[in-house]
Structure 1
């Protein structure tokens, strides 16, 4: 079964359709209608709620709170978490007979008139409360922690849409809640969110010990599903060896990581996946490492790492790549979406693949295959399986629209990215109708390698997204740059070769003519950026 806390109360669930989302569970099973459904596709943020991963043992430091879109998030992903909804952020009325003591985010929304029709309001409250409570956690660890800024408030609500207020009063509420919170602190009024979380953590740690003991006594038994409903099953492997075994037995199972795109198959296409193998408990797939050799340095990300987990590492080693994350989806999606999921999903408009292509990333794949099936004297079937690994360039991974080198029983283990050298320069440009929380119409990532004296282009890698059925490298465009002088004319010539590499599609986001023209101009923009980075600018 799965174990989680909801607004301070423990829940254990086993007999439930594995395709059940958090939103569906809240509204239909728990009758908690304070969380709203807007788009049903993770775009509008009306269904946003807040969660915190519970520790595995007592005394462990509190994890930060995070927000997510409950409409596309499977309930099973909340195994081992504490969920908080908007209605429970306010203190209980019985503690304050005159009125309920609202959370600073709620009180500020009231005072700043941040709500009109009110449908999106619970989601905004959760996004603001998440910022506020994480700041409180930082203050507990560091008394000198700074208050959040205007920009942080805007970023915190970038995954929430409102058709009524024009956002100004909501941003005002974000600024106001700091003042309200300081007044509560001076009155020694505890944070209900932090109090609920603390109580849940203490209770969970005590129960976790018993659970671990029970598991140690049954570890040799067949792997049991965490959720089951008739023929539908969901497994949560705790080790990679369990994952390998499950994929050998269920090679066509749906592999579910963050599910930020797979969730749409449930809410939009109304699919019921028969067997789901969920990767959320595999810490081995959420690790990263930096290896060094005589030739190069290489950064390795586990496929289960979320955008949020990757960000601080990218800020250190690939700042231009990290800057893209501010425009990649929303905070709610970045908290759940994973690197491996973004690659395996093979969407032509995924934000990460074009950049990884330009960086010449390699992808580590694992294949799990049944190699023998025998029947013993008691007529019991016995299976054995083999596991094989391969590492290929990401350019080889994508075959056609939604088709990759993955086969039944395969999964992405990790991604290897060579670190940038001093002579290499990376430029990334995303074009979308909305600046934030939007799918790209087109994306260009260019890595330009210069000669020792910076006078010519030694190598180039141009990754394109949103231009074809798969993310790809613009080979003719790259070849046209190699050996050329570092000037605008060289990049214009290379841009003219772009039609030899790709014939863009026309859809609701942009026409093929627009895409081609924009990407060609973006390549020229890369030239101008490159020349500003050089000690002496090239000739125009």
Structure 2
């Protein structure tokens, strides 16, 4: 391991900033407010839900280092060392001159889209990212697309209408974009920096359990490593199997913020560009898709929807845009949560998980990766390298359904992705019924599947499969749903699948939805 420790270096407020001495778990929000004294960014929930702390993070594109990519992320869950080599823009970087506001800020004023103002900086940053992206593409978002963009900004004291009005009005203002040239120049300079190895003081928390060596927390320094290549990551992981892997920090950040857990030594995956690769690659002699474990959820789900359009509604309802812009597909999968929304989709599509330990690579069906609650098949020194899946056959009938208390940006009570293959006579040739939220792990409904195989896809067989679900699952009761509710929902969703995919007069998904089709016929189309 390289022991050449250095400071954290990133672009902020028009110059490259260096930070030393702070704990590696110092959040971007804490640094902005307490050290940079940029107090426009607010703390609301401190867990990545409300969007009050939204900031912009800029990075050079992997495929074109002359182009800057801006992402809106939650500052409250991101650790400061993850900014190394990147650019940080808060609301103060847009305009602080009331006589010369940018188009986003001016639109918020003109449309009376702010009341107490606490949430406004987060809205402005989210809308600024949207504005930059659409200006770059030469497009204008629809009102529904703006609503989807703002799904992670939950405080709406003025109501939805004036904020959406401002989102439309900002494109009618005189065109004024962020000057990216100095940012690109600074980031190109930072690319020559060696990989980050950082150590900082670990603040003492009364809630922090003592380590086995009984070293007082206040006397320790914790280490943060950010290798830049896949080989360096594999070597570091092999030699430090006890270190915690950190990807998007959308979950681990809460362990620190809410549970006050001692995270110890961290190995960050975000600087390894090879892990972000998404490419076409044959899967067991079939056309397939390779998604690197470090691919951000937004790009990974975009790739999944490109090959399986019926996953689009699940993509839009997966967490929020700031979470999807930070979290990774590999992190969501490796987490092992029984309510993660990626695993049902990938298992239903027949994905393999690719694991790496040193120079050795192994793979297994993703459905076999989960052993028990939050327990996976990962071995010491091993990490997730990629997810690999076949392209769906044209005849595959694939549907995805998510049930949650809040429609957008909420954790699933039940999430299911179901796939069927029927022959010309309507006999079930293959069935993969995958459920999250119904057991300690995401799992297939094997009894229900077995009841369908080789049988006609009719209502009588549907009823048998519905009853068989009780053999597959004994769901728990928790704050999101009762056991009875979850079972009833799972059975009803299986019936919904049948109504949409039966050979005789199948119904379009929009006919079975209580929501208007404002998002477009994203999950409709042919009966298949």
- Picking from 155, 165, 181, the partner of 1:198 is 181
Q: Which runs of 5+ in 1 are unaligned?
A: 94-98, 139-144, 216-222, 369-386
Q: Distance in 2 between matches of 1:266 and 1:44?
A: 18
**Larger Cα Rg: Structure 1 or Structure 2?**
1
User: Which residue is equivalent to 1:96?
Assistant: none
Q: Distance in 2 between matches of 1:461 and 1:246?
A: 38
2:159 aligned with 1:166 = yes
Q: Which runs of 5+ in 2 are unaligned?
A: 1-6, 202-219, 509-528
User: Which residue is equivalent to 1:379?
Assistant: none
Q: Distance in 2 between matches of 1:297 and 1:408?
A: 32
User: Which residue is equivalent to 2:18?
Assistant: 12
Task: Output one character per residue of 1:86-138: Cα deviation in whole Å (capped at 9) or x when no partner.
Answer: 12211x64xxxxx4311222112122221122211111111111111222223
Structure 1 counterpart SS, 2:401 = strand
User: Which residue is equivalent to 1:41?
Assistant: 47
User: Deviation at 1:474?
Assistant: 0.6
Query: What's the TM-score once normalised by structure 2's chain length?
Result: 0.87
- Picking from 425, 428, 447, the partner of 2:400 is 428
Give the 5 Å matches for 1:295-374.
Answer: 295-368=285-358
User: Deviation at 1:467?
Assistant: 0.9
2:263 aligned with 1:280 = no
2:88 aligned with 1:83 = yes
User: Deviation at 1:294?
Assistant: 8.3
Q: Which moved more, 1:166-175 or 1:517-526?
A: 166-175
8 Å CA contact retained: 1:8, 1:82: no
| Number of equivalent positions | 484
- Picking from 49, 66, 70, the partner of 2:71 is 66
Change (3 A) 1:86 1:39: same
Q: Distance in 2 between matches of 1:447 and 1:81?
A: 41
2:159 aligned with 1:154 = no
User: Deviation at 1:7?
Assistant: 2.9
Task: Output one character per residue of 1:182-214: Cα deviation in whole Å (capped at 9) or x when no partner.
Answer: xx23xxxx43xx21x3212123324545x4xxx
User: Deviation at 1:293?
Assistant: 7.1
Change (3 A) 1:528 1:115: same
Q: Distance in 2 between matches of 1:5 and 1:534?
A: 58
- Picking from 514, 523, 529, the partner of 2:485 is 514
2:255 aligned with 1:265 = yes
User: Which residue is equivalent to 2:211?
Assistant: none
8 Å CA contact retained: 1:54, 1:82: no
Structure 1 counterpart SS, 2:291 = strand
Q: Which moved more, 1:255-264 or 1:146-155?
A: 146-155
User: Deviation at 1:533?
Assistant: 9.5
User: Which residue is equivalent to 1:402?
Assistant: 374
8 Å CA contact retained: 2:500, 2:506: no
Task: Output one character per residue of 1:210-264: Cα deviation in whole Å (capped at 9) or x when no partner.
Answer: x4xxx5xxxxxxx872343342000001112211221122111110011111110
User: Deviation at 1:321?
Assistant: 2.5
Q: Distance in 2 between matches of 1:259 and 1:15?
A: 21
8 Å CA contact retained: 1:344, 1:412: yes
User: Which residue is equivalent to 1:377?
Assistant: none
Task: Output one character per residue of 1:275-334: Cα deviation in whole Å (capped at 9) or x when no partner.
Answer: 000001111111123233784222121111111222332232111224321010000011
8 Å CA contact retained: 1:55, 1:201: no
Q: Distance in 2 between matches of 1:3 and 1:499?
A: 55
Task: Output one character per residue of 1:458-505: Cα deviation in whole Å (capped at 9) or x when no partner.
Answer: 110110001111101110010011111122322222011101001111
